[in-house]
Amino acid sequence: MNETGRTAAVDRAALLEVFLIEAQECLLAMKQALGELQARPQDEGQVQVLFLMARTIAGSAPSLGLQGAAELAHALQDVVQRVREHSLPVTDVLIALLRRSVDRLREVLPLMGP
Amino acid sequence: MYLHPGRVAAFAGPAHLTAVLGSSVAVCLFDERGGIGGMNHFVLPAEATESARDAGRAFDALLGTLDRLGAHRPALRAKLFGGAWPLGVYAAEPPLGLRNVQAARALLARHRIPLVAEDVGEMYARKLVFDTDGGAAFVRRLGQGRP
């Protein structure tokens, strides 16, 4: 492999590693935010956390070729956006759906650790 | 001792605090006279939310713990790590990592705590080990050297 090729390979490994660690941080924050939102459905700060975290995953997954994760994170972001705009109420059903989406994201990403 | 996001730890005496940092940030504070130091680990910039995992809460919790241990505020020094952002990935808006770093720097400036070292940004996740006793910090950038 030539020098340029090796640099590109190292960069992709580093990029994937930072993305996966970032994604893990985001998913953990989303899980905690969902728990707090269930206790206090009016807590818009938690909705903001969910939005920011979903957007972060949706923004970086495509460049690593993680299309499934990107699409799911985008869908999550869209749903949370509707909550932010108050066009979708926070219900137990919605929270259960968001939880399942977060769990599914954990499954499709090759994460390490807890 | 491994510090998960949203947690704070400080010790009067020697301890090694470690964290793996993606776009999250760790602020290490230590009393430059030695003996007392601590670290936080947060994933959210201050302006995003009133969450316990955000920069402002994490900073207050760390300062409060150091106060209780008897640290001298004017003698506090800071080191800042993490806040990675994959270059070129986020075109439209400031990435989470950058916002976390900016939030930490603003808090340090507001409290007039000198920032004596940092390794932030770029596209590398990091493993950090912080020695609370002398304030020494060791950082390994992950994902490098394995082509």
What pLDDT, in 10s, does the model give residues A1-55? 444 455 566 577 778 888 899 999 999 999 999 999 999 999 998 999 999 999 9
Instruction: Give the pLDDT of residue B86.
Output: 67
Write the residue in B84, B124, B147 that is nearest to A9 by C-beta. B147
Look up residue B55 and give its two tokens. 């920069």
* DSSP code, position B4: -
- The residue extents of the domains of chain B are 8-141
Instruction: Give the pLDDT of residue B45.
Output: 87
Question: What percent of chain A clears pLDDT 90, i.e. is strictly above it?
Answer: 62
Instruction: Give the pLDDT of residue A87.
Output: 96
Q: Does A90 have pLDDT greater than 60?
A: yes
Instruction: Give the pLDDT of residue A65.
Output: 85
Write the class of the CATH domain B8-141.
Answer: alpha beta
Q: Does B53 have pLDDT greater than 80?
A: no
Q: Does B140 have pLDDT greater than 50?
A: yes
Q: Is A58 on the interface with B (CB under 8 A)?
A: no
Secondary structure of chain A in HEC code, one letter for each residue: CCHHHHHHHHHHHHHHHHHHHHHHHHHHHHHHHHHHHHHCCCCHHHHHHHHHHHHHHHHHCHHHCCHHHHHHHHHHHHHHHHHHCCCCCCCHHHHHHHHHHHHHHHHHCCCCCC
Instruction: Give the pLDDT of residue A2.
Output: 43
Instruction: Give the pLDDT of residue B143.
Output: 74
Instruction: Give the pLDDT of residue B59.
Output: 94
Instruction: Measure in Å the smallest separation between the Cα of A16 and chain B Cα atoms.
Output: 8
* DSSP code, position B13: S
Task: Spell out which residues of chain A touch residue B58, defining contact as CB-CB under 8 Å.
Answer: none
Q: What is the mean pLDDT of residues B55-70?
A: 95
Instruction: Give the pLDDT of residue A8.
Output: 60
Contact A14 B123 (CB under 8 A): yes
Mean pLDDT over the full length of chain B: 89
Residues from B in contact with A at Cβ < 8 Å:
4-6, 20-24, 43-44, 48-51, 53, 84, 86, 88-90, 95-97, 123-125, 141-147
> Of residues A82 and A11, which shows the higher confidence score?
A82
Report pTM.
0.85
Q: What is the mean pLDDT of residues A91-107?
A: 96
Using left for φ > 0, alpha for ψ between -120 and 50, and beta otherwise, residue A99 falls in alpha
Q: Domains in chain A, start-ordered, CATH in brackets?
A: 3-108 (1.20.120.160)
